[in-house]
Structure 1
């Protein structure tokens, strides 16, 4: 059955809505405070978008002072504030001091059918199976993201442990593209039993990009999510006009809405 307890607003972007599903499935604490939704991930405190306040600014404008107070009380000592904006544009009203923060928006895309793409010659696409596979997935993400210092490594360790936990509980699966014993690509797909299955963390090793790896993984994971999870549509999020977005559109995904986020140092707010 789909997870309950997080209603959101009817105008909440699909990106945020499916983010909340994956966050809950991977162990985050999510609580509603009127038009505000507090997301905390105690097991991974440096996970930026696992520790933030989601603001419903769709009607007469949210109380941003209340949002800031909730963030400060939930994350004492945090110098960077992070707010998700629940509605997709243009349904936002930002007061001047909040508009000083950096605004970013990613595009949510959907498809009601799994992509059609061949598996490149000499490659196998399958679900991760054991500790060795998950260790390879960790190393792939570490390399792709350039993680070197202890804080980044600890974040990634906790993040993949959370994904693996959700997989072992039956809420998703992590797929890898293998050439021999080497993992050259990976991604996850998750659902709470509702209509949407959400892709996560599409990664291809730098030496294997533009060779059909991501397409093959998206196809395999999409078929599995529609069949095994009973999903009715597949959801993926990408930066606008990025190579990833162009790939997803070629594979049949269509833009639905925009997922907005605000972040920046508390000092710029002047409060």
Structure 2
């Protein structure tokens, strides 16, 4: 199955580098990540065509057949226009519809200011441990051991991809503390996909992510022989303006349909 969506094409590129299993069923792909079964978008179906009115229950049943132990539900649409049919049917199934913006750039404009931080690749065990802690700082409510385990597994996967030579994870350090981080991975195809641009809540609005994305993207264009940088953003979140200011342009939309375990 040829992937038309640039968002999902680069998602699957990273999933493959991370060891996920991708099976082609003709009408859809089954993406499975045995090392992290609670990772929704590591265990999902990617549908080749947009389902019509009344078709969604059949795809829910297909997901259940492929992932009988899963408590979540995740379906992607291989299209770039952001359109979804039968939203009433999805609502009846308690499905959330997410439409993200896929942006691309072949060069980056420098940020307007340089924050007081050391920006560099993660190198040591201590560096990588800070990424997991940063991810946990973004959650609200009491500590969740399941979320902590998920963050640890994702961090180990990202480190293995970077250490295999498929990219890097950069951090912005203030007084030795990692307060902003992001990854950039490529399979050598010319596409490089950003991963998890995250800033500690206490250090936001200081230009850290702006400077980090620029430095990491510039590194990727040179060191990964990438000709096109790809990032996916929530169109309603302010970070999308940061990407556009750096030179990213809107390319398409990515449709993700999900139902959390509690629904």
TM-score, normalised relative to structure 2: 0.89
Q: Secondary structure at the match of 1:256?
A: strand
CA gap 1:82/1:120 in 2 versus in 1, 3 angstroms? same
> Residue 146 of structure 2 corresponds to which residue in structure 1?
151
Residues 150-189 of structure 1 show CA distances to partners (whole Å, capped at 9, x for unaligned) of 1101111101100001001111100001123111111000
User: 1:232 deviation in Å?
Assistant: 0.4
User: 1:234 deviation in Å?
Assistant: 0.7
Residues 17-53 of structure 1 show CA distances to partners (whole Å, capped at 9, x for unaligned) of 1111111111211111102010111101111111110
2:67 matched to 1:75? yes
CA gap 1:132/1:14 in 2 versus in 1, 3 angstroms? same
Structure 1 residue runs without a partner (length 5+): 1-6
User: 1:241 deviation in Å?
Assistant: 2.8
> Residue 138 of structure 1 corresponds to which residue in structure 2?
132
> Residue 33 of structure 1 corresponds to which residue in structure 2?
25
Distance 1:255 1:62 in 2: 32
Deviation larger for 138-147 or 87-96: 87-96
Distance 1:153 1:234 in 2: 30
Q: Secondary structure at the match of 1:122?
A: coil
Q: Quote the RMSD (CA, aligned, Å).
A: 2.5
2:114 matched to 1:120? yes
Deviation larger for 54-63 or 227-236: 54-63
2:237 matched to 1:242? yes
CA gap 1:173/1:118 in 2 versus in 1, 3 angstroms? farther
Structure 2 residue runs without a partner (length 5+): none
CA gap 1:62/1:91 in 2 versus in 1, 3 angstroms? farther
For the Cα contact (< 8 Å) 1:226–1:232, is it kept in 2? Answer: yes
Residues 54-107 of structure 1 show CA distances to partners (whole Å, capped at 9, x for unaligned) of 101159999756643431122113343210111122665448644632211100
Query: Equivalent of 2:253, from 251, 258, 269?
Result: 258
Distance 1:267 1:57 in 2: 28
Query: Equivalent of 2:77, from 85, 109, 114?
Result: 85
> Residue 167 of structure 2 corresponds to which residue in structure 1?
172
Q: Secondary structure at the match of 1:236?
A: strand
For the Cα contact (< 8 Å) 1:114–1:234, is it kept in 2? Answer: no
Distance 1:265 1:210 in 2: 30
Distance 1:159 1:139 in 2: 12
For the Cα contact (< 8 Å) 2:31–2:44, is it kept in 1? Answer: yes
> Residue 129 of structure 1 corresponds to which residue in structure 2?
123
Distance 1:256 1:173 in 2: 24
